């Protein structure tokens, strides 16, 4: 049986993942308004991934007999001072999510919930990838500085990104 503490923490994480999706959609709109459709596409795909993460938690709670409680989603920012700042915020947000996942793992360990520990390992690995991707883009943007040709090339590259549901098993 899944503990109330884990149910409550997973419900809070569902909210975090849905907020992440909302934040990245807001960033997509920001980039669309700048006519950077590749950057917007990258963020739309990121939003889809976060929605997938939320639903994975949602389904897990149901499978374990826990009660899903959807919480209010906070309104995200909708303007940034630059592309660089938007991606600094992206990395900062992914680091926050990593901290939340690590906290969930600690709770599962304390509760001796081995099924939850096993389930959460996928998220631990996923967060390594999420932080690495955001960090890489951030470093590329820092390298490019104000080079508009380089930004347009990066924008063109980001247009090719597609959502592929992650392998979860």
Q: How confident is the model at residue 116 (pLDDT cuts 50, 70, 90)?
A: very high
**What separation in angstroms does the CA of 58 have from each of 15, 16, 81, 141?**
10, 12, 35, 35
> Do the domain assignments include residue 53?
yes
CATH number of the domain at 118, please. Answer: 1.20.1260.10
> Do the domain assignments include residue 100?
yes
Note the pLDDT tens digit of each residue in 17-62. 999 999 999 999 999 999 999 999 999 999 999 999 999 999 999 9
> Do the domain assignments include residue 167?
no
Domain that holds residue 154: 4-158
Give the torsion through C-alpha atoms of 87, 88, 91, 95, to 10 deg. Answer: -160
Return the HEC string of 116-145. HHHHHHHHHHHHHHHHHHHHHHHHHHHHHC
> Do the domain assignments include residue 32?
yes
- Asked whether 37 and 118 are in contact (CB, 8 A), the reply is no
> Do the domain assignments include residue 95?
yes
pLDDT of residue 167: 75
> Do the domain assignments include residue 168?
no
The count of structural domains within the chain is: 1
> Do the domain assignments include residue 28?
yes
What does the alpha-carbon distance between residue 127 and residue 102 come to, in Å, rounded to a whole number? 10
> Do the domain assignments include residue 12?
yes
- Asked whether 40 and 83 are in contact (CB, 8 A), the reply is no
What does the alpha-carbon distance between residue 108 and residue 25 come to, in Å, rounded to a whole number? 31
Position 169 pLDDT exceeds 60: no
pLDDT of residue 168: 64
pLDDT of residue 86: 98
Q: First vs last Cα of the chain: how many Å apart?
A: 22
């Amino acid at each position: 049986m899944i503990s109330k503490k884990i149910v409550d923490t997973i419900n809070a994480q569902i909210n975090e993942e849905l907020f992440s999706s909302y934040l990245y959609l807001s960033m997509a709109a920001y980039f669309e308004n700048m006519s950077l459709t590749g950057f917007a596409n990258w963020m739309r795909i990121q939003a889809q991934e976060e929605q997938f993460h939320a639903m994975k938690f949602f389904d897990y709670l149901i499978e374990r007999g826990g009660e899903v409680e959807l919480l209010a989603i906070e309104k995200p920012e909708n303007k940034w001072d630059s592309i660089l700042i938007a991606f600094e915020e992206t990395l900062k947000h992914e680091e926050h999510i990593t901290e939340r996942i690590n906290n969930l793992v600690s709770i599962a360990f304390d509760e001796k919930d081995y099924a939850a520990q096993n389930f959460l390992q996928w998220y631990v690995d996923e967060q390594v990838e999420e932080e690495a991707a955001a960090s890489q883009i951030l470093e590329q943007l820092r390298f490019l500085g104000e080079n508009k040709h380089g930004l347009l090339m990066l924008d063109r590259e980001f247009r090719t990104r597609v959502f592929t549901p992650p392998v979860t098993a």
